[in-house]
Amino acid sequence: MPIKDVLLPLVGEPSEPALAAIDKCVAAAADLGARITALAAEEDISLRPKVSISADLDNAAESEALRSVTNAAGLLKAFESAASRMGVRADTRLCRLASEMIAPTVAERARFSDLTLVPVKSHDSRSEKLIEVLLFESGRPLLLCPEQRAGELRPEFENVMIAWDHSARAARAVGDAVPILQAAASVRVVTATDEKTEAVMQSGADLVDHLREHGISAVFETTAINGSSTGKVLAGWAHSRAVDAMVMGAFHHSRLNETFWGGVTKTVIGEPPCWVMMSY
């Protein structure tokens, strides 16, 4: 199915990296030929008023009602400017939510999109929580945009790698990414392993054969782990080959193991090396 309708959640404050990521996400939607809907969430935070004795009841009531919200308007302004500049079909939605309701609300809305674009702050617990909820509750693939690398990202996905671990979730990610893979100039299937067993080599060859039936010319190769983590190895591979986008499945191991011991998903979410299309 072609990617025609994408969602962009806007959460947090309009920092320079966040604004650069918004710009690149809009550009990516333009390259896909998709409509993009920005869902801006103002975080509603109650502030505890200072204890004071005052005869001014109106001021006291105002103090009790004091709220703090994140600057979603600034994020929306940047989005609208980018969409207008690039001629992208765009919609906007603004909501005020308690912090614990932001992720589930975005996930519910994401069910009505082909793809959710997610700006990601490096090693940020809020970004990681949003991504995890989207993976498990939206039923849709994600496209992660690393904010710290936004300035160097290309919005066209010409050089794409598939992080292939033979799992059902990796297969799901490949299926979701077919429109992007078909448009790419170069597609490489990469398995990180220290053992080039017959099963490993056959699995890679079978995926290349399957992709060929969809008009996708791909090559398969392995890369050694050598005592490092698989996530770091794949990120290093992507950097050294100037990869535009990585396609991967999420949480091959149990969520509990990933949470406590790390893992490929946690490593990549913590600091995406490039655009990362991820499915669960």
Residue type, 13: E
**pLDDT band, residue 156 (cuts 50/70/90):** very high
Whether residue 18 sits in one domain with residue 91: yes
Q: What average pLDDT does the structure give for the chain? A: 90
Over range 193-212, report the average pLDDT.
96
Contact (Cβ atoms closer than 8 angstroms) between residue 189 and residue 13: no
Burial classification of residue 73, based on how many CB atoms lie within 10 Å of its CB (0-12 exposed, 13-18 middle, 19 or more buried): middle
What confidence score (pLDDT) does residue 40 get? 96
pTM: 0.89
Q: Is the pLDDT of residue 181 over 80?
A: yes
Widest distance between CA atoms in the chain: 82
What confidence score (pLDDT) does residue 1 get? 82
Whether residue 144 sits in one domain with residue 160: no
Q: How far apart, in Å, are the Cα atoms of 81 and each of 50, 73, 115?
A: 40, 12, 22
Contacts of 42 (CB under 8 A, 6+ apart): 69, 70, 72, 94, 95, 96, 97
Over range 160-170, report the average pLDDT.
95
Whether residue 175 sits in one domain with residue 111: no
What confidence score (pLDDT) does residue 68 get? 54
What confidence score (pLDDT) does residue 124 get? 95
Whether residue 109 sits in one domain with residue 44: yes
Whether residue 139 sits in one domain with residue 16: yes
Contact (Cβ atoms closer than 8 angstroms) between residue 167 and residue 263: no
Q: Is the pLDDT of residue 188 over 90?
A: yes
What confidence score (pLDDT) does residue 49 get? 53
Q: How many domains does the chain have?
A: 2
Whether residue 205 sits in one domain with residue 136: no
Over range 133-155, report the average pLDDT.
97
Whether residue 195 sits in one domain with residue 131: no
Structure confidence by residue, pLDDT tens digits, 40-84:
999 876 555 555 444 554 554 444 444 456 789 999 999 999 999
3-state secondary structure (DSSP) of residue 215: coil
Domain final residue pick, 102, 128, 148: 148
Q: What is the CATH number of the domain that holds 263?
A: 3.40.50.620
Over range 193-217, report the average pLDDT.
97
What confidence score (pLDDT) does residue 260 get? 35
Over range 129-157, report the average pLDDT.
96
Q: Which of 87, 86, 116 is nearest to 23 (CA)?
A: 86
Q: Which of 180, 209, 196, 193 is nearest to 278 (CA)?
A: 180
Residue-range definition of the domain harbouring residue 261: 156-279
> 37 - beta bridge partners?
7, 91
Distance between the two ends of the chain, CA-based, in angstroms?
17
Over range 148-158, report the average pLDDT.
96
Q: Which of 34, 63, 37 is nearest to 51 (CA)?
A: 63
What token pair was written down for 228?
């490092």
Contact (Cβ atoms closer than 8 angstroms) between residue 144 and residue 118: yes
Whether residue 169 sits in one domain with residue 132: no
Q: Is the pLDDT of residue 275 over 80?
A: yes
Domain final residue pick, 115, 148, 181: 148
What confidence score (pLDDT) does residue 251 get? 75
What confidence score (pLDDT) does residue 60 get? 46
